[in-house]
A = this chain, B = another copy of it.
Amino acid sequence: GAAPAVHAQAAIRWRLASSFPKALDTIFGAAEVFAEKVNAMSGGKFVVTVHAAGELMPAFGVVDGVQQGTVEAAHTAPYYFFGKDDTFALGAAIPFGLNSRQLTSWFYDGNGMKLFREFYDKYNIINFPGGNTGAQMGGWYRKEIKTLADIKGLKFRVGGFAGKVLSRMGAVPQNIPGGEIYQALEKGTIDAVEWVGPYDDEKLGFQKVAKNYYYPGFWEGGAQLDFYINKAAFNALSKENQAIVESAASYAHTEMQARYDNRNPAALKRLVAGGVKLRPFPKVVMDEAFKQSMALYEELRQSNPNWKKIYDDYSAFRKDQNQWFRFTEATFDRYMQSAKL
């Protein structure tokens, strides 16, 4: 074996800023899992402290924080940063985008990682997939959504980029951090909210205010989180520690989806038992949202070269994936979902 390198003796201390509140052991928990694994694999010589939204910087300040080196790392949902460049959203979720497994596949074995490494370079960011929520629910509404008219004027908390599609349908989207949504809903500042799904949503307490719980969250068929690492901090690591960061992120990526999948079913049962009404979005709403989404993506292809470069690869991948998934994967799942188990 090689002689032990000197860096193995040095304690490395990183700060990680999360965009999420501590109460959410799923999405905030992914950063804790990352830190635990880095710590364990380095034998305590590489320590990452995890800070909830607002502790070091605001929930939506973490890209600036990593870019400027205020913190070495962040854990966030890229689509929050569509104001900087809409292209961020393609690394998290866009309306009618890839589902969880498909997005992971695009990053791990397709062109997703390569394209986003290039894109993030000007932000001094090295990105690693850091969890997925799976297909999200479509949110909590005081009033039923029966026609397109019910969307018009709706003050709706929705995460990041998706608001662009909903505003084309007449909604008034609000990009509010997770930890601040409940208050806005309770005070009546907003009419409706979406966060993730039953397990998180129940904790945040939306069922106390709005009883109509819609699906699917067509704007988040599989929302991916990312670990953002400051480029200089990453490059200063030994090759071993760089590999440790990569695998710790991967572990957290898989663990987060596993937590949501394991914890959502019981939460959904509790919510329904408590009087929540599960409702599918009307087809007319889905179809109009689809039409507006595709129109928006085409506009962005014309106006934003970053979007065009990444979306063209993403959308070709999406087409192939859905052609394949509809055979054996969908047929198996459909059979199981209708079977008496």
Contact = CB atoms under 8 A, between A and B. Distances in A.
Contact of A332 (B8, B99, B105, B278): B99
Interface stretch (A60-68, A119-127, A298-306, A315-323): A315-323
Interface in A288-334: 290, 315, 317-334
B323 A265 contact: yes
B37 A324 contact: no
How big is the A interface, by class? 35 or more
A254 interface: yes
A217 to B, nearest CB: 6
Given A247-B247, A322-B337, A218 B278 contact: no
A337 B326 contact: yes
Q: Give this chain's copy count.
A: 2
A215 interface: yes
A55 interface: no
Contacts of A51: none
Interface stretch (A78-86, A158-166, A169-177, A256-264): A256-264
Contacts of A327: 137, 215-216, 268, 278
Interface of A: 1-5, 8-12, 37, 40-45, 96, 99-102, 104-110, 134-138, 197-198, 215-218, 221, 238-240, 243-244, 246-248, 250-251, 253-255, 257-259, 261-266, 268-269, 278, 280, 286, 290, 315, 317-339, 341
